[in-house]
Structure 1
Amino acid sequence: MKLKGKLPFFIIAMLAWVVIISSCANMGMPAGGPRDSVPPVLLETSPEYRALNFDKDNIRFTFNEYLQTDKISEQLVISPPLEKRPLIKTKSKTLIIEFNEDLKDSVTYSIDFKNSIVDNNEQNPLKNLRFSFSTGPEYDSLRVAGRVINAFNLEPNEDGSLLVLHSNLHDSAVFRVRPDYIAKTDEEGLFMIDNIAEGTYNLFAINDMNNDLMYNEGAEEIAFLDTLVIPEAHFHAEADTMVSGVDSMLVLGHTHFSPEPFYMRFVMEDIFEQYVESTVRQSRNKCFFEFNESIADTFSVNLIDHDASDWQLFEYGQNKDSILMWITDTMVSRYDSLYMELCYTQLDSAGMPYVQNDTILMHYADPKVEEEKKSRRRGKEEEEEEEKPEPIPQFTWQTDIPSTMELNGLIRFVSPEPVQSFNTSMLKMYLTADTLKNALPINVQEDSTKYRSYSISYDWEPQTEYSFVIDSAACVNIFGISSKAFSKGFKTREEDYYGSLEFDFSNVTMPMVVQVLKNNDEEEVLRQKSFTEDGTVLFEYLAPEKYKVKVIYDANGNGKWDAGSFQDKVQPERVAYVQEVIKLRSNWSESHSWDLTPDPLFSKNIRDKEEEERKREEALEKQRKEEEEQRNNSMFRPGDTGSGAGGFQRR
């Protein structure tokens, strides 16, 4: 009886001892099992792969685990394309694609899932799953493959491009006819259209924004080939010489598909369709017109309700698709509302030019301003209003002269309104340290690409302070208003701050443009130079930064990249890049040899070696820490208790 009464205390003591021993031997946190990283496994299909005479209304794929179907409807590509989207559903571990229309007779269908098949738990993708079957007695197995990239920067389309293959060889087919076969590019721009029947085709890549499988000119990007596509397959037999001891030799081989992969470049084609995008009257004497196309010299404006002559002055934007109109006649500008007729060239449906006339109302109202009145009390006299005389109006120069001038920098300044007269002798520049203020020889140039803009270039001395002065009334605008006085002091950098970049070009067969770009996704052009023959091109006074470098194969010699034209069957001009990021250091010169033989693959794999080294070092450091943590944790495993209750082992 006494032992029976003490039994609960023995049980409690035993449990406490087990807890203490377990906690001493397992000081670390318990680790979970390994993360599932295996994609779904396809176990069975109905029908079988490459089945013939298929006549059902659905196909089934059975996997070893449950799936998520969210991405399938987005990425699934069925070729030839269907009129109606199929219904996608699951039943247990089986994926069902149910067709909502009758399939074409005696046609081989290809189904490309891309990377949309993922498991339900960890979303591990089953990559590049393809399936095919035939609704007739024959199975088509020809294919066309390649890569599609942007012609301007050689980058693939992030959202994927649509490849369309047409047996209708008319030029208008891509605009009006659904294609015979389709495919989509992956994240690298690669594509393959398979299960194609024998024939002759046109191949296009389009950025199908409205999902109609056709090219919408001027709204979507397009890439095209200069040749027809005739897919073929040839079996090349190879005897296995390793087989011996048998009467017949084993014959192996491989199938070679042609043509070779295509490398296509898409562009947004510039289609002329003129219209007014916006009009605004910014002030009483300034109106702004914006067009979607360049209007060249075909633009004019007529007043409808008023008679006036020589009442306007036009300033065209750099691309001639925007216009500033200055109203120079004060009798016209005083009207709040002006009805105007805009006249510009348009093209009719046959491509013939005609004059388009648009009537618009340009309205402007002065902002309400409360007049400030000042009064003074003199003795006991009544308060009187006293108005100060208005100052003589003058305009202020617009300028962004920096405090630190680059050694190849320019002084730039802009008049806010059109200039009537400008006395450039009233501009002075001198050394700040020169107490006698001896003027330095300068040459003022008017900028031909930007209205009312002027610049001064000078052979600056390193680490020197300069002063720049514009006297009052040096300039008078078309409204008779003179300029205010302006002065700015600045200093130049030391020469050792800069680096230089030199290229030795070979195999130059046409006009070329080489550009130094910012090392970012936008690739802003910092410098560029043109050349027409083998030799060296030097860029001096570059800041110590990272740069990309690009060349344009300027076939028409106009000094810029041109997108070509599908209408005129002109491919976009080629571009190429230095395949590494160039890092310049101060007081350093980089030299590179560059063979400009055109690259048929349009490669762009720009490596940043410094960034790669940084990531490699980070990975090594991460690995070192993980190994150190693993060694520390191994000292506290339950099985390594050693001689002490705490689980430490003597070494």
Structure 2
Amino acid sequence: MLNKRDLFFYKNLLFVAIVLMIFGCASQQLPHGGPKDVTPPRLVKATPPNMTRHFAAKTVRLDFDEYFKLNNQFTEISMSPVQDKQPEFKIKDKSLVINFKDTLQKNTTYVINFGKAIQDVNEGNTLKNFTYVFSTGPHIDSLSVSGNVTNSLTQQREKDVTVMLFPMDKDSVYFGKKKPTIYATTDTAGNFSLNNLHDGDYTIYALKESAPDRIYDKDDELIAFLKKPIHLYSDTSDIKLSLFQQDPQKFRMVEKKFDQDGKLFMVFNKKLTNPSLKVIYPPTFDNLKIVEFSKTNDTAKLYMKNMDFDSLSVAVLDNGKPIDTVTKEKGRKETFKKDFTFVLSSGANNKLKPYTDLLITSTAPIDNIDESQITLSEDSTSVAFNLVKDTSGTRKFTMKYHWKQDAKYIVDFEPGAFTSIYGQKNIRFVKSFTIDKAENYSTLTLHVTVPDTSKQYIVQFYQDNKNILNSYPISKNGNIVYKNYLTGKYHIRVIYDSNRNGKWDTGNVKKRLYPENIWIDPTEITLRPNWDAEDKLDIPREVVVQ
């Protein structure tokens, strides 16, 4: 029999065990993580079933395997044929209930296209191109149109592009004005399929938008089309659509502002051919302007030597003809921060490309240069140089010298070496650099064969599609030599220059013009260090799409 002391000991021991058990259990947690949900909601049941004939219901119930939401339902969801009173869509738990508010036509196939509206609640996974189809008669339309969409410039397949089909008799009424009722979105491989179509004649378009509304109404949108209608009396496949950005029909000023340094900065909605600016107010200030246009002629910088004005009116001209007038106000005594410094073409790595001049760019237009205040040192010894103003503007000039591979150079601009148009004198600017090793660069000789000497082609050399390094027009067999290019991987693109104007011309929907064709050589060119490479370019015959 236990005495009181033993009994007290065992009671305490039991208490400790219970406490440890409780806290031990409390500290146990379910494992975190696991694979991320990447699957969209899945239809489990439809009432009435999808593809129902002799449809007579007033309500449709779609049951899914998880909770979902409707994203942009008024933009994404459409019904064909269109009803005067749109159906009502309500979410109940994991189900979507559709209530029809209008009378359905007899012997008609209806397609409800949900686009990208149905998304799961947690991860936003989208059920793309889901349709609910039914017929009020004994027959369901079953014809289809399929194909793919590519980008004209890159020749790459494009995903998430809306492909739209319009009945011929409604094309001019709907396209660019109303959302289509027959559409599909391309998959990751750029493929599309439009199903449950009625026989007849259709026009087809593809549209890529930054803010989707399925209406072609913005300058930056990409569009594709077929000139000839689709005569749909049997399944039609292998439709090829090529996207392009159309040149805006009307000139528009996208942006106009006085920058911190006082220049008037302007952005246009389109590239101009031969742009110029004229100051029309104040009336005597036009001869005080300095203008710079971008290489693509779609932006302009206007510097004024005299800033004593409260507003500036500028006429924009192209080929000498006025196309717009810009007016921008400012305070007459408003001050601007006019930084006056320089950037050298030796770049961030302080290495100048071999066999090139040193390009110097100032942040403000230059009015005067005092070369006696400029020093170029080679290995700590001053050397003579030649300074030449750049013809493209008043902010650029080149320093010419016979550079040596292993030498160290220092450019020194003493205070007052440069005077800006605002009367500013530069503060001291010192920059050191070396000449990059010649073995880091290569030369490529391209032996070009053209398929038709009566036509012109533009051979473009590039590393990425936004950085064309060289464009060379050619109309006969010959060689193109690319000298002094950094080692790396390059590509060749050929434009079929049908109008022989030396540039790529885009298409026009209204005029039913396709963009000029482009062919990209699938062979990647590798330039190795200190290597003179040779390669062949056999340009294939142009495939003309009617």
TM-score higher than 0.5: yes
The letter of the residue matching 1:512 is I
Q: Which residue of 2 aligns with 1:510?
A: 456
Shift in Å, 1:457: 6.3
Shift in Å, 1:174: 0.9
Distance 1:164 1:298 in 2: 42
Alignment of 1:428-507 (within 5 A): 432=379, 439=384, 444=388, 446-448=390-392, 450-456=393-399, 462-466=405-409, 478=421, 489-507=432-450
Distance 1:439 1:354 in 2: 47
Shift in Å, 1:77: 6.3
The letter of the residue matching 1:413 is I
The letter of the residue matching 1:216 is D
Q: Which residue of 1 aligns with 2:467?
A: 525
Q: Which residue of 2 aligns with 1:572?
A: 515
Deviates more, 1:480-489 or 1:139-148: 480-489
CA contact (8 A) 2:179 2:214 kept: yes
Could you tell me which runs of 5 or more consecutive residues in structure 2 were left unpaired when the two chains were aligned: 1-30
Within the alignment, does 1:361 sit opposite 2:329 as a pair? yes
Alignment of 1:315-334 (within 5 A): 315-318=291-294, 319=297, 321-328=299-306, 333=307
Shift in Å, 1:313: 1.6
* CA deviations over 1:485-507 (Å, ceiling 9, x no partner): 87755322333333444544434
* CA deviations over 1:77-97 (Å, ceiling 9, x no partner): 6544666365254677x7654
Alignment of 1:538-617 (within 5 A): 538-579=481-522, 584-588=527-531, 591-597=534-540
Larger Rg: 1
RMSD: 5.0
Q: Counterpart of 2:175 in 1: which secondary structure?
A: helix
The letter of the residue matching 1:498 is Y
Q: Which residue of 1 aligns with 2:176?
A: 175
* CA deviations over 1:564-602 (Å, ceiling 9, x no partner): 322333323334444466554434455554443268699
Distance 2:415 2:120 in 1: 76
* CA deviations over 1:359-395 (Å, ceiling 9, x no partner): 54321546699xxxxxxxxxxxxxxxxxxxxxxxx97
Distance 1:122 1:173 in 2: 35
CA contact (8 A) 1:162 1:208 kept: no
The letter of the residue matching 1:574 is N
Within the alignment, does 1:537 sit opposite 2:480 as a pair? yes
Shift in Å, 1:225: 1.7
Distance 1:455 1:574 in 2: 38
Shift in Å, 1:264: 2.7
Within the alignment, does 1:338 sit opposite 2:281 as a pair? no
Within the alignment, does 1:67 sit opposite 2:14 as a pair? no
Distance 1:287 1:407 in 2: 34
Alignment of 1:241-390 (within 5 A): 257-258=235-236, 260-267=238-245, 269-275=247-253, 277-280=255-258, 282=260, 286-293=262-269, 299-303=277-281, 308=284, 312-318=288-294, 319=297, 321-328=299-306, 333=307, 335=308, 338-344=310-316, 360-365=328-333
Identify the match of residue 346 of structure 2 among 398, 401, 408. 401
Identify the match of residue 89 of structure 2 among 80, 87, 90. 87
CA contact (8 A) 1:341 1:357 kept: yes
Indicate how the Cα distance of structure 1 residues 470 and 592 shifts in structure 2: closer, same or farther if over 3 A, else same.
same
Q: Which residue of 1 aligns with 2:166?
A: 165
Shift in Å, 1:452: 2.5
CA contact (8 A) 1:311 1:327 kept: no
Distance 2:500 2:360 in 1: 31
* CA deviations over 1:315-368 (Å, ceiling 9, x no partner): 13222542313134xxxx4x4x5244444579xxxxxx9876665432154669
* CA deviations over 1:18-70 (Å, ceiling 9, x no partner): xxxxxxxxxxxx9xx9999999987765445544332323345567xx33433
CA contact (8 A) 2:165 2:202 kept: no
Q: Counterpart of 2:529 in 1: which secondary structure?
A: coil
The letter of the residue matching 2:152 is A
The letter of the residue matching 2:176 is F
Shift in Å, 1:258: 3.0
Within the alignment, does 1:414 sit opposite 2:361 as a pair? yes
Distance 1:359 1:310 in 2: 14
Shift in Å, 1:451: 4.1
Distance 2:293 2:526 in 1: 36
Shift in Å, 1:530: 1.0
* CA deviations over 1:522-567 (Å, ceiling 9, x no partner): x541622313144443434333444455444444455544433223
Shift in Å, 1:212: 5.2
CA contact (8 A) 2:206 2:224 kept: yes
Question: Which is richer in strand?
Answer: 2
The letter of the residue matching 1:274 is R
The letter of the residue matching 1:70 is K
Q: Which residue of 2 aligns with 1:612?
A: none
Distance 1:472 1:119 in 2: 65
CA contact (8 A) 1:79 1:181 kept: yes
Q: Which residue of 2 aligns with 1:373?
A: none
Q: Counterpart of 1:53 in 2: which secondary structure?
A: coil
Q: Counterpart of 1:146 in 2: which secondary structure?
A: strand
Distance 1:272 1:429 in 2: 50
Indicate how the Cα distance of structure 1 residues 473 and 68 shifts in structure 2: closer, same or farther if over 3 A, else same.
closer
Shift in Å, 1:311: 5.7
Indicate how the Cα distance of structure 1 residues 399 and 568 shifts in structure 2: closer, same or farther if over 3 A, else same.
same
Q: Counterpart of 1:201 in 2: which secondary structure?
A: strand
Distance 2:503 2:131 in 1: 43
Q: Counterpart of 2:255 in 1: which secondary structure?
A: strand
The letter of the residue matching 1:525 is N
* CA deviations over 1:108-165 (Å, ceiling 9, x no partner): 2335668998999999999976553323344322222222233333445554324232
Q: Which residue of 1 aligns with 2:24?
A: none
Q: Which residue of 2 aligns with 1:153?
A: 154
The letter of the residue matching 1:315 is V
Deviates more, 1:165-174 or 1:465-474: 465-474
Indicate how the Cα distance of structure 1 residues 454 and 266 shifts in structure 2: closer, same or farther if over 3 A, else same.
same
Distance 1:566 1:119 in 2: 37
Shift in Å, 1:411: 0.9
Indicate how the Cα distance of structure 1 residues 101 and 577 shifts in structure 2: closer, same or farther if over 3 A, else same.
farther
Distance 2:102 2:216 in 1: 25
* CA deviations over 1:390-417 (Å, ceiling 9, x no partner): xxxx976553435322225441113444
Shift in Å, 1:190: 1.7
Distance 1:213 1:343 in 2: 36
Distance 1:259 1:123 in 2: 32
Count the aligned residue pairs: 497
Within the alignment, does 1:223 sit opposite 2:224 as a pair? yes
Shift in Å, 1:272: 1.9
CA contact (8 A) 2:450 2:540 kept: yes
Indicate how the Cα distance of structure 1 residues 297 and 529 shifts in structure 2: closer, same or farther if over 3 A, else same.
closer
Indicate how the Cα distance of structure 1 residues 91 and 180 shifts in structure 2: closer, same or farther if over 3 A, else same.
closer
Q: Counterpart of 1:168 in 2: which secondary structure?
A: helix
Distance 2:70 2:184 in 1: 17
Distance 2:232 2:205 in 1: 15
The letter of the residue matching 1:363 is G
Indicate how the Cα distance of structure 1 residues 366 and 39 shifts in structure 2: closer, same or farther if over 3 A, else same.
closer
CA contact (8 A) 1:113 1:128 kept: yes
Distance 1:288 1:36 in 2: 51
